[in-house]
Structure 1
């Protein structure tokens, strides 16, 4: 790692790491059809099916690997933003519900939209761009006061107050063992649903990519003489950074997120082309643009308020045992299930 930093510098090493992690995530997410929205739709319809199995495999594999690395002192997440920084319980709850509603309306979360756009889906491309613009507005623009006010309703200090390990008094090894048991059950459930071994492996690969993101940024931080943020896969923040770097700056400042987004796009596109699944998809009579745009707005604002998207909070923050991340992903499930349940009974949202 020291040699890599000497050759590329801290920023270059982080960008390369982001590219590698992104490639892995893009390939495995496309192959497994990983999607939180799809899993919530199944549950809202009263079914426990293959889409839920894929999400459970990805989640438990990420939790198993990350907490396993922590238990062996290979990884330390105590100084990460998900744990150490001041958080917001109100932001996690409100933002999570908004994100869950939005991803049902837009038929995909931030990560799924990026994967679909890379596979030729123009609906996902347009929706993802709107999501990114709204997220930037919520972070530093005209929507930031509203986000700050909602987050300020119920703040939570960083450190032990946001660390589930400290709150529950359990060791990382215990979490790793419990998660590993959950992973085995999820794999058995997937096999019962007749999911192919290739898709099961790809679903686990999504969790591997999350763990790899945590480990490689931690390794770079340990080897660097500069302060390097330890992070893993998330999409709302990196997507806004990438877009702003392309349209508002004369040169791109390299970072993990700047490498991650194009890495995911290249990985997903390559996987889709290799499997013959790449094709252009447009808006149509059965895919009204207004529904997607409303969903994009809700997701963009909700993700910034909740502190992460379905992957940033749901997998990366969840595997780090961040209290607010777990609350956010729980709220995403609630918002998505309620929205789809209502959509099946009301005409204002087309049935998915």
Structure 2
């Protein structure tokens, strides 16, 4: 079984900073070379999205990319944007305990935990990864299709706290599941409808949606030993990982975010404020500046990754350059860290952002 590695490069908005077609073609040539250099020698499929006329996708891109992929934890970035919409509307405050907004939500320390802490994974709440695992030791039992279904939040998230709010960072799906419940309480809308109305439609994301338990999730993944991950029920990940859609729709989300069609500049800046003491985690994503090969000065990046089963995603925005790089793979891939100065992500970003 060959790896399918889908990459999209896009300019963010139709403005003077956007790369002209010759430069975009040059970047694509470099990105192809970088992908092959880093060992992605299966099916390497690439395409570009320009922002002209609402970011229309060329027919060559539609033909080469599967219609639906799971977006895994990139869902957290989308949910964070929905939170900032409510902050802009004055309905939520990032630093107010969530008990004020969802009094019926029975979680530990509800009178202390804030949305900022949940979005930055410093809530101190129980972690779904502490629950039982299957025989592969790589997938939680409660996320398998054979497990009992539940509505909203995993039962593990309702357990006792592990630490005081704000005391430490611990990446945790429970945090975003609870954020989703707060959004539902404040807006009175199911999260799937809220995201459709406030995120997907305004951004022109015609194929994206929040899956429910049992829904098909599109492109399957494969573990390193070649075993397919069909037994994973992606819809059970809820706000933490159940968004799915075409790769092109993820680029449309990034373009709408940069273009101010989802939240304003002040809200975006707040959401993208990386905390150095916590590894530059921001609200639902990471925000940092790194040197890249071929760029004269370090480049500011906003990054969100995701992984469920064998499918992995890397979504990177370079706001000052007005460029976006989105990559999907259907087998575990060592994307590496750009700050290490090597690896798949570093090579792709250097080629896509610094070659023109």
TM range (shorter): under 0.3
- Greater RCO, CA 8 A, separation 6+: 1
Structure number with the higher strand fraction is 2
TM-score normalised according to structure 2 size: 0.27
